Amino acid sequence: MCGRFTQDVDEDDLIDLYELNANAERVGVRSRWNGAPTQNFAVCRADSLGRRSLALHRWGLVPAWARDIKIGARLINARSETVHSKPSFRSAFRRRRCLVPANGWFEWQRVGSGKQPWWVSFGGEPFSFAGLWETWDRGEGAVHSFTVLTCPVAESLRWLHHRQPSIIPRERYAEWLDPATSNTALLELAQSPHAGPFAWRRVSTVVNSPRNDHPEILRPA
């Protein structure tokens, strides 16, 4: 699964990454070096006409039919193998896909009686997770939320974990966001593990607490 990730990208760089209009409305992207569920992150969405924009969404999908926002804490990830059929995700999978910019994600490797955290990246360059988004509204203000898809892990990361976030290559962003893309193509995109090349480093167990959110989190342990 993906339970913590880094989103340290300047908003102007996101406008370039997603080929947005240079005059696009700014949403106030905040750097997160140890981003955790229930926090707000930038995502890239497209409307029915294919126009892309940035938005701030809460991590942890809250389906429109949910009785309580707390369900989002259990829906931070969606398995790409079943995302098209699970009641919590299937509607968003068909109609509300997004791209979640990231610099890397954290994974914990069991070592003896403890766990060693690692940070996995493309050398720090921004890339995009496959995401889904939803709007939940019970009359007290809408909550926009998202989940990150996961898939079987690439061969180069098999030593660390058996799954990884689904990563959409830049040349296929339009395909992922396009409402006309077929289920077959979407599932192929989501289920194909990106092969990298990845970079990884041991980091301090300071990352274990989401209260610690600063650049030093990423220093090699």
Does the annotation count 2 as an active-site position? Answer: yes
- Measure the CA–CA gap between 19 and 123, rounded to whole angstroms: 22
The confidence score (pLDDT) of residue 91 equals 96
57 pairs with which residues across the strands? 41
Q: Supply the mean pLDDT for the chain.
A: 95
For 42-93, how does the pLDDT look when each residue is reduced to its tens digit (9 = 90+)?
A: 999 999 888 999 999 999 999 999 999 999 999 999 999 999 999 999 999 9
Buried b (16+ CB within 10 A) or exposed e, 161-170: bebbbbbbee
Domain assignments of the chain as residue spans, ordered by start: 5-104+127-196
- Measure the CA–CA gap between 185 and 41, rounded to whole angstroms: 27
The confidence score (pLDDT) of residue 203 equals 98
Residue 82 has which token pair?
């079943």
CATH level 3 topology of 5-104+127-196: hypothetical protein yedk fold (3.90.1680)
On the question of pLDDT at 22 being above 90, the answer is no
pTM equals: 0.96
Out of 2, 44, 98, 151, which one is annotated catalytic?
2
Does the annotation count 11 as an active-site position? Answer: no
Out of 44, 107, 134, 151, which one is annotated catalytic?
107
